[in-house]
Structure 1
Amino acid sequence: MPRSTHDTSAILDAAGRILGAGGTGAVTMAAVIREAGIPSGSLYYRFPDRPALLAALWNRAIASYHSGAYPLFDGDPVEAAAALGAYTVRWCDAEPHHAHVLLAGRSHFEPEGWPADARTTEAQESARWDEAIRGLTRRLRSQTSASTAEILLVAVDLPYAAVRRYLSGGRPVPPDLADVVAGLIRTSLRGADPASH
């Protein structure tokens, strides 16, 4: 049976397209109704207001990104950081509408107005992700001389910075960018490995 074009995923896809073109401020209920080509009742049935829509957009993007990232944290910590960096670039390239959500940042999604269940979902996933990042950071600090600030800059911030210049300008991500980012992460962290000197 074909999927209804009015389902939640299609509505959030429309909201993601609007965000990618005009930022979070452009994501209004009226704009989503127009972009999705749906009756207003189909939208308001699922999302009673704009904060509920923005919450769903944020939580869906986070779930998409994290689901493929968690398996990469195991093993050698430097290789894990490099794999995570490459994955981030490839995911942003494959999921540009989700990537625009993450690049915009949580604070732009009016979290203070989110429904209680959406806040709970976000808080639980945020805690799980933060613990994974802290664990990787601890392992990297024990293996290298890099500080926490250096590790976060290289392993977390660098991949987003690398893709932002392309996504924000509507340009394609270079096919070798994931490998370039992974190589920079390895070089930076291996260079901070006392055993390598």
Structure 2
Amino acid sequence: MARPPRFDVKQLLDAAVRLAAAGGPAAVTMSAVALEVGAPSGSVYHRFAGRAALLAEVWLRTVEGFQEGYFKALETGVDARQAGCAAARHVVAWSRAHPEEAALLLYGAEDFGRADWSEEHLQRADLGNQRVRASLASLATALGAEDRQATERVALAVVDLPLSLVRRHLRAGDPLPAHAEDLAEECTAALLGSLPTASAPAPTAPAAG
């Protein structure tokens, strides 16, 4: 029976996350990842075609892990307003539970070399973006947001506001305060409170297929 590989993809990506959290995307190189886990460079090249593939996987795994819980949060609650508040809480709670991954979200896909990604990686990224847009549109509809200003209010409430709260502390190198989830929910509820209805059912995140 063949021995399992000593250094698997998860170990290498975990190492890449640590490097990116500490030094930004520029710190993630094939040799740096190998050194971080004590592996020969060949182990990294065996699992990733090159640095562009490594960076793509680091970014996509992080974002997809975040989005999985975010979509679930949008299905929480008896009405759309509660779902929006749950999504805002998720942004903070996930960041608290995954501080190194959250540090990566201070950057963007372009910082992780999107211009050099393979077509497969680009399709994964685009699918995730499409699901986010569709879920936000569904939430806005459920909340009765009918014009541009109202839909902007929804995006601000459930995306921009909780992310800005997290990023302020991350950039300062401070831990998230104990009240951060409650504060995010309170602010989101206030923004969504002026929309016409909270009686519609919470939206369901679209399938990935």
What TM-score, normalized by structure 2, do the two folds share?
0.83
Partner of 1:122: 125
Q: Any idea what the Cα deviations from partners look like across 1:110-169, whole Å, max 9, x if unmatched?
A: 112112222222222222222112211222244999622222122210111101122223
Task: Tell whether the 8 Å contact from 2:153 to 2:191 is kept in structure 1 after alignment.
Answer: no
Partner of 1:138 in structure 2?
Answer: 141
Name stretches of at least 5 consecutive residues in structure 2 with no aligned partner. Answer: 199-209
Number of positions where the alignment pairs a residue of Structure 1 with one of Structure 2: 193
Identify, as 1 or 2, the structure richer in helix. 1
Q: 1:77 aligns with which of 80, 93, 101?
A: 80
Residue by residue over 1:48-87, the C-alpha shift from the partner in whole angstroms, topping out at 9 and shown as x without a partner, is: 2111001101110122111112122234121111110101
Paired AA for residue 176 in structure 1: H
Does the aligned pair in 2 maintain the 1:77–1:136 contact within 8 Å? yes
- Tell me the residue number matched to 2:15: 14
Root mean square deviation of aligned Cα? 2.3
| Over 6 Å off, 4+ runs | none
Change (3 A) 1:48 1:31: same
Deviation at 1:27, TM superposition (A): 1.4
CA distance in 1, matches of 2:117, 2:70: 25
Call closer, same or farther: CA 1:5–1:79 in 2, change over 3 Å: farther
Give the Å deviation of 1:183: 0.8
Give TM-score, length-normalised by structure 1.
0.88
Match of 2:176 in 1: 173
Partner of 1:54: 55
Q: Percent identity?
A: 33
Moved more, 126-135 or 12-21: 126-135
Secondary structure of the residue that 1:193 maps to in structure 2? coil
What letter corresponds to residue 42 of structure 1 in structure 2? S
